């Protein structure tokens, strides 16, 4: 279970966990089993509810985020609401942020935004699904703060020198989503065609949305 507070407690944590306490199982595995069995024993949750929650979590993908971005590109009123209160705007599309708050940061011709969790792996899972391994790596977490332009270049993203790079450090309570600039040449495209250009990585800010062929 994630997104229940505490820097993605129990998931892919890079903080040094306590030593393994049971043959082959890590600290968080043991904790997960203990809490799950306790919840079932006490009659607070049924196994089916837990399974359904895990399934719902696993079913999240960057498509949710892409839908939000494409809608913001075509609907200026929605975009204004999204930038003002990302949590509420996503809820209006049926995407609940749970206990976390969402801040949407908009790219412009002057500013480009990039996301990181310097402490561990906090990530807008509700909108993007599970974070990629590189996002959780110590290398990305430390380097993107110090030398964002170099890191972006390694992703193949070259930005003009006069564009300011802003790096946003996610926390357990506050997750970010990048609203990239709508690519030129997409004027005639429908919302769903636009959504297909929006990738996970461009909503993290390490790449730009795909340009239609
Ligand atoms: Fe984190």
Q: How far is Cα 32 from Cα 146, in angstroms, rounded to an integer?
A: 35
Over residues 97-106, the pLDDT tens digits come to 888 999 999 9
List Cβ neighbours of 6 (8 Å cut-off, separation of 6 or more). Answer: 172
Domain ranges of the chain: 20-59, 61-204
121 is catalytic: yes
C-alpha Rg value of the chain to the nearest Å: 19
Give the CATH superfamily of 61-204: Nitrile hydratase alpha /Thiocyanate hydrolase gamma (3.90.330.10)
pTM of the model: 0.81
Catalytic residue among 2, 90, 120, 202: 120
Over residues 98-149, the pLDDT tens digits come to 889 999 999 999 999 999 999 989 999 999 999 999 999 999 999 999 999 9
61 is catalytic: no
Catalytic residue among 2, 90, 122, 202: 122
Q: How far is Cα 115 from Cα 203, in angstroms, rounded to an integer?
A: 9
Report yes or no: 64 and 95 within 8 Å, Cβ to Cβ: yes
- For residue 112, report the distance from its CA to the centre of ligand 1, in Å: 22
């Amino acid at each position: 279970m994630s997104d229940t507070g505490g820097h993605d407690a129990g998931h892919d944590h890079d903080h040094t966990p306590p030593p393994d306490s049971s043959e082959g199982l890590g600290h968080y595995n043991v904790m997960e089993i203990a809490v799950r069995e306790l919840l079932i024993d006490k009659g607070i949750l049924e196994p089916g509810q837990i399974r359904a929650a895990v399934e719902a979590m696993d079913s999240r993908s960057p498509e949710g985020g892409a839908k939000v971005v494409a809608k913001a590109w075509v609907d200026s009123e929605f975009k204004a609401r999204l930038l003002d209160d990302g949590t509420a705007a996503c809820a209006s599309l049926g995407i609940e942020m749970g206990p976390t708050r969402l801040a949407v940061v908009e790219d412009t011709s002057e500013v480009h935004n990039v996301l990181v969790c310097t402490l561990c792996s906090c990530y807008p899972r509700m909108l993007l699904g599970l974070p990629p391994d590189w996002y959780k790596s110590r290398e990305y977490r430390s380097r993107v703060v110090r030398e964002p332009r170099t890191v972006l270049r390694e992703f193949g993203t070259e930005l003009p020198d006069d564009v300011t790079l802003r790096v946003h450090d996610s926390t357990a309570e506050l997750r970010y989503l990048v609203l990239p600039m709508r690519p030129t040449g997409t004027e005639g495209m429908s919302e769903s065609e636009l959504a297909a250009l929006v990738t996970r990585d461009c909503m993290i800010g390490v790449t730009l949305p795909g340009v239609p062929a």
